[in-house]
Structure formats: structure tokens, C-alpha cells
Amino acid sequence: MLGEGAGTGSGGQEMMHLGLGPQHPAMHGIIRIVTELDGEVIRKADVEIGYLHRAFEKDCEVGGYNNAIPYTDRLNYVSPLINNFAYASAIEKLLDIDVTERCKYIRTIMSEISRVCDHLTCVGATAMELGAFTVFLYMIKAREFLWELVEDVTGARLTISYGRVGGVKADLPDGFAAQATRAFKDVREVLSEVHRLLTGNRIFMDRMVGVGVLSREETIAYSITGPLLRGVGVGYDVRRAQPHWAYDRVDFEVPTQKDGDNYSRYLVRMAEMEQSMRIAEQALATMPGGPIQVDWEGRAVEPPAYVDQGKQGKTDGLLLVPIRLSPNLEGQERRKHVQVNADDKRVVLPPKEHTYGSIEGLMNHFMLIMEGYGIRPPLGEAYFATEGANGELGFYVVSDGTDRPYRVRCRPPCLPPLAALPRMIEGEMIADLIPTFGSVNMIGGELDR
């Protein structure tokens, strides 16, 4: 913290101007809050953002539609899968195509796993900043169980780039349902431990109950969504209000609290983690297998021999013969490809057997990748929203008919709560700024873009 001078308040008493961040550890290196203090009481506060601005929206407009997928990983980097799927769904809405049923279930399952990871990080970090370091270690341990699931599905843990326009990169691995069941069991045990450590803890409640209060009317006026909105008793959830993917096929509750303080937001997030695991378990239990495109017969042919035969014109039956792909392409073979991607050559890259084994597949792949071709939605605009970990996450995309978006706009869920942060902390003690800022769960990449 850095003292920045003094002034005179309205009552003639001297005020102290104090800046927190961006170097202050509780500001995560990307927020600066300039406060005007009367003793230790915050009389005024000014929140400065923009320390992590990376021009996400303009970067999306200089490449093809799928090129933006890695950029979306860097928005809310604690739950990147939700970003992937929301952006891809906006493009699919623009194209008026529908993904397969299995893909809808995969997007639902992986989004809910991401949501739990996000809430675990938020609650754990907030508790640590209040001195409960044990809770932070427990929550990170629980997040590790889920990140192992994410890594098995996507090949990465944080910057996953798993979503695709028209589907997903690859199908779920074999045995994923059983692995997820074990992970959820372990996470529930950790949450039970944290409830015992925190929920009725006198010190924790003294720091959270009645602190950072925002009224129901103010919350709505600021267009705040997510846990902060549900923390004032408004049960709005995009998954329930505008069902998409497989959310209309599962049963879940929308947890709410009524006090609008930091403690209410904590309780909402703890309850939402259980609901997310409940959604994922239902989706795993009812997920369809999807159609199988061909009934393979015959011997396996190695890729080099497969290509050589094609060059010689010996193509009879080649597309019906399976080839063994390298491990890095696992999940992108024809059998699984058709289950998780839309049947639309304008959008979806062909299965790797087709790409490597036939001139038609190679040309299809080439046309989708080559500059000036690629995915070309018709003229128009589309907006798609889903329930991100912090509230309504939306993508607005405008197409001019070329292979690059004319305009991409992200509706970040943590911007409205941060705009309301001065209202939450003015009149509070300077020490109360820390748990209130933690309860907002500001994610810099999503906020500044």
C-alpha cells in the first residue's frame, strides 16, 4: 500500500488518500483502487482497470473464426472451457447449424467441471487472504482432482483450446465417467471439510457477514448477474432462463441467499458447486453415444501405406478401412469425430483418416484452413449467452460474409460487479476491502480483455 497524500473532508477533518494495487497482492497485480480514508474508514473509492488489456476483441477480428478459440482461453482463465463453448455457440448461431446431441452433453459436463474449478479458486483465495491458509490448500487440492479430468479430455490444464465451431476437438476418453465419479466424491469430501472449517467459524463470519453489502435494487441496476445477483435473492441463471446445450435435460436448483453480503456470496458459490457436480453426473449418466458413420471391416493399414495406395489410384474401400492414428490425434478419428461434431463440411475439419487418406478430405481440410476461404458465415449478427462462473458470459459476433469476423464483442460477467465495487466498500473499514474484492471474483483477462 502506498500513501498518496492528504486532503480535507467536508467536515474540515483531514482525509488520507491511499492507493491499493496494482502491486498489492490482494489486487492480483491488475487493479488499482484509490481510496479516501477517514481514519480506517473508506469514504470514497475509485477503481482503475486496464492493467491487463490485451485487445482480445480486435485479435479475434484479424484471423479466421476458429483462430479465436485460444484467445477465449485467456478470458476467464480459471474456467476457460465455458469461454470456448460460448464463443463457438455464437458462431454456430450465426451459421444456423446445430451440434450433435453428444456434443451438447460434453459441453454441459465440461462447463460444469470448469465452474467448480472457478468457485474452488475463488473461495480458497478469499479465505487465504483472510488468513485461512488451510482452506486455500484444501480447495487447490480439490481443484487438482478436476484439473486431472480436464487434462485427460483436452490435453491441457489451463489454456485448453478444446472447443470448435461445430463441435469439440475430440470425444471424452474411455472410462471418463468412472474417473469423474471418483473425482466428484473427493471434491465433496473437501467441501465438507471446508464447511466445517469456515461456514460457522466466528472469525470468518465476523469478516464476511454484513460486509460488502449491495442492495437488491442496486445489484439489478448495475446489470450484475451470477453469484452476486443470486446473493440478493434473484434466482436468475442463464442455464435456466435460456436453456442451451443439455441444460434442459438435467435437473438442478439455482441457489440463492437474501442478504447481499460477502457471506451470502460465499454460501451461493458453495451450494453451486454441489449443483454443478449434480448436473455433470446426470449428463454423464444419460449422454447418448451418437451415430456411428460406418461399420468397419477389414485389416488396419498404416498411414504411409494408406497414402501410397491412394497415390496409385488404389482407392477402393480405403475410406472403410481404419488406420491407426498417432496418440496426439486420439479422439479425432472418424468413429468419434462424427459423434461430437456437426455434419457440415463448411465448418468442421474432416476426420484425420479422411485428411491423410483421401484427396477429398485433404482438400476439405485445406479449404477450411487456407486464408481467404475457411468458415464463411452469411451476412448477419448473433449473440449467444451462457452462465459463466461469474454470471452471464455473452459473445456478440458480426459477419460481413468473409472468412473473418467483422466484429467480436464479449460481455464479461465480472465487469458490472467491479463497477459497483465502490458502492460495496464505501463506509467500510479498509481491511474489509480485501474480502469484498475477493467475493467479486474479478478475473483480469475477462475484465480487461
Asked if residue 67 belongs to a domain, the reply is yes
For the chain, what is the domain count?
1
What pLDDT score was predicted for residue 1?
Answer: 40
Answer yes or no: is 9 within a domain. Answer: no
Residue 302 resides in a domain: no
CA–CA dist 219, 2 (Å, integer): 31
Tens-place pLDDT, residues 122-136: 999 999 999 999 999
pLDDT for 296 = 30
d(CA 25, CA 4): 18
Q: Would residue 61 count as lying in a domain?
A: yes
Residue 170 within any structural domain of the chain = yes
Q: What is the pLDDT of residue 332?
A: 65
* Per-residue model confidence (pLDDT) at position 384: 96
pLDDT at 297: 33
* Residue 46 covered by a domain: no
What pLDDT score does 299 carry? 42
What pLDDT was estimated at residue 335?
66
pLDDT score of 30 = 87
Q: Judge whether 304 lies within some domain.
A: no
**Buried-state track 4-23, b at ≥16 Cβ within 10 A, e below 16:** eeeeeeeeeeebbbbbbbbe
Domain span holding position 134: 56-289+377-448
Domain annotation covers residue 358: no
Q: What is the pLDDT of residue 311?
A: 59
Instruction: Give residue 84's pLDDT.
Output: 94
CATH number for 261: 1.10.645.10
In the prediction, which pLDDT does 333 show?
Answer: 66
State the 10-residue block means of pLDDT for the chain, 449 residues long: 51 80 84 93 93 89 90 92 95 90 93 96 94 94 96 90 88 91 96 94 93 95 95 94 94 94 96 96 86 31 55 58 59 69 78 74 78 85 95 95 93 93 94 93 87
